[in-house]
Amino acid sequence: MAKIPLPGSERSAPFDAKIVGSAAPAEQLEVTIVLRRNADQELCDIVDKQCKGEAAPTHLSREEFARKFSATPQDVARITAFAQDHGLQVVREDPACSTVTLKGTVAQFNQVFDVDLQRYESHLGSYRGRTGAVHIPAELQDIVTAVVGLDNRPQARPLFRLQPPIRFAPRNAATASFLPTQFSSLYDFPDNLGAGQCIAIIELGGGYREADQQAYFSKLGIALPKITAVAVNGPGNQPSGDANGADGEVVLDIQIAGALAPEAHLVVYFSTNTDAGFLNALNSAVHDNTNKPSIVSISWGSAEPRWTQQAMQAFNTALQAAAAMGVTVCVASGDSGSSDGVAGGNHVDFPASSPYVLACGGTRLQASGQVIESEVVWNGGAQGGAGGGGVSAVFALPVWQQSLVLTGSDGKRQPLAKRGVPDVAGNADPVTGYQVYIDGADAVVGGTSAVAPLWAALLARINAAKGSAIGFVNPQLYRQQAAFRDVTQGNNGYFAAAPGWDACTGLGSPDGKKLASVL
């Protein structure tokens, strides 16, 4: 049976990776096969019309999407037959997500996909990995678009910055941290609490403790929001007790979204921090026909060069499906400035760089009482972090970003040539961060991780006021620049703030009621 390399599946080892031995031949793993979507061009046409603003978007229901655009039974059957021929177990078939998940041993997958799985040690930790391309049977090349899960290196990092536990600062101090609830006034949120909305929160590890949530929301004087944990891959909600790890991200996301939209239902999708785990979590949220999220908040990501092309494309296809179904996806833009933590050049974070998400950048906000005194680009230097932003090396310039201009820190301006990041912004500096309660202790956190749930909560309130989901909001936002607080001071390294859109804070921070009135 002839095999060919799967385009975009090539992996390289991290710069400091060392092979410490072959992966155990009997080790069990799950691998997700991503298939072509039925009627793909029709779906692209639907979303393209949204991008062009040709008409008010008509969102597909999840049932309509599954009926029209699921992977065909014939394609799924070809993969199940392929699995049976090689002694692999079919764990899940998800036609609406166009995925089939297979289970087998390292030895089996080495043979099936012509890979050589090894054990690596690097700054990422210990992981099972590969280099080179995945090979698939030539007769499947017309239906298979990605094979993810062979490599289980950590794919993303949580985009938050945690200050050491400190006493809550006075509410009116100009440089104080804030309770999340204060932002409903500072950013003038609509006068509702998100009733009837469901916010999906993607987490790649860690967990939350019910007692901590009870204590925190009681302290805020807010009834505990409805919180549901969903295990996608891995153990599900499993707090580690390490506030500096994934627990910090989980709790931050829940407490900011819950404080600002306490009547919304928060559904937390827990998965493993791999390309397959991340993709499966996103698909689970977007296609969840039980909880029906109208908004997804993602505070995890990594620089575009750290992804395989096949994984990025699979992710982008899932995000395009979200746009078609009227699901808004808010994604943190990164905490390492214009380099995104990669030496040598400027990079943007993915999935924030997908054209189908609302990329959320960072500011430093100072206020007195309920009045914003200043708001500038968040940039705390090499050790303090800075808001991610710049230009994608992967995704083309969206229609709604045409004619925009990049401003460099040197003052030079040039036309934006590809997808620009971020789209919007909000307070992210840990120095002026958010007061939360993690693993039994008070803490102050920042990072663009905080901005994604803040925007998710704002959009939940706007949806509640509107009585329907706004959905893929980017094309509308870029026509409503007057509904933003334009941030014109500061830089994130290579790029500088400027009037209008910029690659540090996007269109700016929100004026919530103005946004609600124009959307």
Q: What is the 8-class DSSP label of residue 493?
A: S
SS3 state of residue 148 = strand
d(CA 70, CA 82): 19
Phi and psi based region of residue 74 (left: phi greater than 0; alpha: psi -120 to 50; beta: remaining): alpha
Q: What are phi and psi of 407, to 5 degrees?
A: -115, 125
213 residue type, one letter: Q
- Alpha-carbon span 88 to 516, nearest angstrom: 51
DSSP per-residue codes, 350-388: ETTTSTTSEEEEEEEEEEETTEEEEEEE-B-HHHH-B--
Look up tokens 């400190």; give the residue: 166
Residue 417: count of CB within 10 angstroms of its CB: 12
How many CA atoms does the CB half-sphere of 483 hold within 13 Å?
Answer: 16
Phi-psi bin for 30: left (phi > 0), alpha (psi -120 to 50), beta?
beta
In whole angstroms, give the CA distance from residue 197 to residue 211. Answer: 24
Counts of helices then strands in the chain (DSSP H, E): 13, 29
- Here the tokens at position 28 are 């069990």
CB 70 within 8 A of CB 94: no
State how far Cα 257 lies from the chain centre: 15
With H, G, I as helix, E, B as strand and everything else as coil, classify residue 68. helix
Give CA angle at 407 (459, 345), nearest 5°: 95
Give the residues across from 136 on adjacent strands. Answer: 4
Residue pair 439/247 in contact by the 8 Å Cβ criterion: yes
Which residues have a catalytic role annotated? 249, 253, 449
DSSP string, 263-285: TSEEEEEE--SSHHHHHHHHHHH
Q: What is the SS3 string spanning 78-120?
A: HHHHHHHHCCCEEEEEEHHHCEEEEEEEHHHHHHHHCCCCEEE
Q: Which amino acid is at 514?
A: K
Structure tokens at 97: 């997500």
| Residues paired with 147 in a beta bridge | 33
Q: Quick one: tokens of 180?
A: 């999340």
Cis peptide before 170 (omega within 30 of 0): no
Q: Are 263 and 225 in contact (CB under 8 A)?
A: yes
